[in-house]
A and B are shown apart, each in its own frame.
Chain A
Amino acid sequence: MRLQYSSSIKIIRLPCTGKVDLLHILRAFEKGIDGLYVVGCLEGECHYKSGNLRAKKRVAQAKEILEKVGIGGDRVEMFNLSSSEAPRFVQAAEEMAARVKNLGPNPLRKAFKKMAA
C-alpha cells in the first residue's frame, strides 16, 4: 500500500513475538534506546498458539521494571494486529513515535555523556 510512517523507527523482524525476551527489552533500554514496541498477532490468532500472550506478559513486566527504575513504563508497549492491517500498523508506529518524542530521550543518555566526559 506504500503507506509512510516515521523514519525514527527501526524494525526487527521475528518469527513470532513469543521470541521477544524480557532481557532483550531491558538490555536495549540499558544501552540507551528511547522506546520499544512489540507488534504481534491478534490475541487468539497467534500462529504458534500462545506466543503473543507470552509477549504480552513480558512487555507488562518490562513496563513495571522500567517504571520502577525511573526510565518510564510508557516507553514500551504491545500492539496486536493482523498482518493484513497495514493502516493499523502505521497507526501503531505513529502513536509510538509521537509518544516517545513527547517523553524525550532515554534519561540514561545523560549518564552516558557524563561518563564519557
Chain B
Amino acid sequence: MIVADKKPIEEIIEEIRDYERILVAGCNECVTVCEAGGKKEVAVLASALRMYFMNQGKDVQIDEVTLERQCDHEYLEEIRDRVGGYDAILSLACGVGVQFMAEKYFSKPVLPGVNTAFMGGAEERGVWSERCQGCGQCILARTAGICPISRCAKRLLNGPCGGSTKGKCEISKDVDCAWQLIIDRLKELDRLDDYEQVMPIKDWSTERAGGPRKIIREDIRL
C-alpha cells in the first residue's frame, strides 16, 4: 500500500492559517492502515486544531469527513453538496487523493495533511518499509521475490556491490543488502542457477524517469 506519515501539526496550522471554515477529509484505505489519515486521525487532528484556534481566540469551523477513497471520482462526488460551505479542504489522503480532490473541486483550495512516502508494507505494528518503486517492469520472478530496484541502494541488477558487508548495505547498518537477501532466498528455493544468468538491460522508460506515466486498458474502457 501507499505509506504516508503524519505532517507535523505546526506545518498544518501554517497551511490553514488564512481560512475560517475547513473540512478535514480522511481516506479509508492506505492512510488508515498506516494510521496517518484515517477516521481516527481526522478526529484527532480536528480536535487538536479546534483547541489551537479556540486558544488563539479565532473562530474557526473545523468539520470532519472520511471518504472510502480519495483516488476515485465516485467517492469524491459524495461531498459535492457540502464543499460549498468551506473555505478550504485539508485532505489527509495520500498525494493521489489530494490531487484528485483538487482537480475535482477546482475552485476550492485543497491542502495536504500527510507526507506521502513510498509503496510498502508493515513489518510490525508501527514500522513500515519500502518494497516497490513502480518501475513498471516487475522482475521479481528472477530475484526470488525480493526487489533490487527498491531495496538495493544502487538498484543493481546482477548481484551485490563491494560495499555489502555481513548482509548489510554500506549506506547503513539498518539496511539489509538486497542482493544478500536474494541470494539467500534463491539458495532456499534451490535456484542459485538463476543468479548466474545475466539480467537483460533494463528498459527504464516505464519508470518515473521516463516522465509521468499512464496506463490505458482498452479492454475495459467503455
Contacts and interface: CB of A to CB of B under 8 A. Distances in A.
A20 to B, nearest CB: 14
A70 B40 CA distance: 22
Q: Main SS of chain A's interface residues?
A: helix
Given A23-B47, A68-B9, A115 B55 contact: no
A71 B50 contact: no
B48 interface: yes
B43 A23 contact: yes
B10 A30 contact: no
Nearest to B126: A57
B44 interface: yes
A102 to B, nearest CB: 19
A46 interface: no
Contacts, number: 45
Interface residues of B, number: 16
B51 A108 contact: yes
A68 B55 CA distance: 11
Nearest to B9: A68
Interface of B: 9-10, 40, 43-44, 47-52, 54-57, 59
| Shortest Cβ-Cβ A-B pairs, 3 listed | A69-B52, A26-B47, A111-B54
16 contacts: A22-B44, A23-B47, A26-B44, A26-B48, A30-B47, A30-B50, A30-B51, A65-B48, A66-B51, A68-B9, A69-B49, A69-B51, A70-B55, A108-B51, A108-B54, A111-B55
